[in-house]
């Protein structure tokens, strides 16, 4: 995206306005991703904070010239994985703390999601093995291609596709059992 390339260029030259715009543009998507990965809003907010502080500190060293959103998503996923490893999660807080809303993003497929549905989804996601949850979230919510996920995790694309398939099957089975 042209806007991102310009923002990145200005950011690398030390522009606070560019950095602020990057944060404003991607904060909600990245937070949703972090909450889905970590199952805890407070930990997810900390992860988002840390990712952007590191990003700001790297302005002059950043080699990135391509996909800014993909880069930030990968940073959040790496930070979430480290957080999981270190067992720094606080008590899980339900995704359903947020009020049901309709996004103003203009996406035609946007749904209204009830708190109950969010709780159900949250519980189901929490039951997936983390590698499966990560792939499902990065692919569906982060719109990352399997190839990009595989490269960022240094595993084969077949492994990533299998994790996605198993993850989605398990989610489907968990969500169906909730309904029954």
Partner 1 sequence: MRPAENIEKLIRNVPINTSAKRDEEVLDDVLNALEKSNNIQSAAHQPNL
Q: What residue ranges bind partner 1 (CB under 8 A)?
A: 14, 16, 19-20, 23-24, 27-28, 31-32, 35-36, 41, 45, 48-49, 52-53, 55-60, 95, 98-103, 109-111, 113, 117-118, 121, 125, 136-137, 140-141, 168, 171-172, 175-176, 179
Q: Least CB distance from residue 168 to partner 1, whole Å?
A: 5
Q: Rounded to the nearest whole angstrom, what is the least distance from the CB of residue 59 to partner 1 in the complex?
A: 5
Of 82 and 176, CB closest to partner 1: 176
Smallest distance, partner 1 to C-beta of residue 83, A: 17
57 or 88: whose CB is closer to partner 1?
57
Nearer to partner 1, 117 or 151 (CB): 117
User: Would you say 57 or 82 has its CB closer to partner 1?
Assistant: 57
Give the 3-state DSSP-derived string for the chain, with helices as H, strands as E and coil as C: CHHHHHHHHHHHCCCHHHHHHHHHHHHHHHHHHHHHHHCCHHHHHHHHHHHHHHHHHCCCCCCCCCCHHHHHHHHHHHHHHHHHHHCCCCCCCCHHHCCCCCCCCCCCCCCCCCHHHHHHHHHHHHHCCHHHHHHHHHHHHCCCCHHHHHHHHCCCHHHHHHHHHHHHHHHHHHHHHHHC
CB of 179 to partner 1, least distance (A): 7
**Which residue, 14 or 66, has its beta carbon nearer to partner 1?**
14
> Which of these, 112, 120, 80, lies nearest to 96 by C-alpha position?
120
């Amino acid at each position: 995206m042209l806007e991102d390339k310009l923002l990145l260029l200005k950011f690398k030259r030390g522009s606070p306005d560019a950095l602020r715009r990057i944060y404003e543009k991607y904060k909600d998507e990245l937070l949703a991703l972090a909450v889905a990965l970590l199952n805890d809003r407070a930990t997810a907010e900390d992860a988002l904070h840390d990712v952007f502080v590191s990003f700001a500190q790297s302005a002059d060293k950043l080699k990135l010239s391509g996909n800014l959103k993909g880069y930030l998503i990968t940073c959040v996923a790496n930070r979430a994985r480290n957080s999981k490893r270190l067992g720094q999660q606080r008590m899980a807080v339900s995704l359903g703390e947020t009020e049901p809303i309709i996004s103003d993003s203009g996406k035609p497929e946007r749904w209204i999601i009830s708190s109950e549905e969010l709780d159900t989804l949250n519980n189901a996601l929490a039951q997936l093995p983390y590698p499966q949850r990560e792939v499902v979230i990065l692919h569906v919510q982060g719109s990352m291609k399997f190839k990009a996920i595989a490269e960022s995790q240094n595993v084969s694309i077949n492994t990533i596709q299998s994790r996605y398939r198993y993850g989605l099957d398990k989610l489907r089975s968990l969500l169906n059992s909730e309904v029954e």
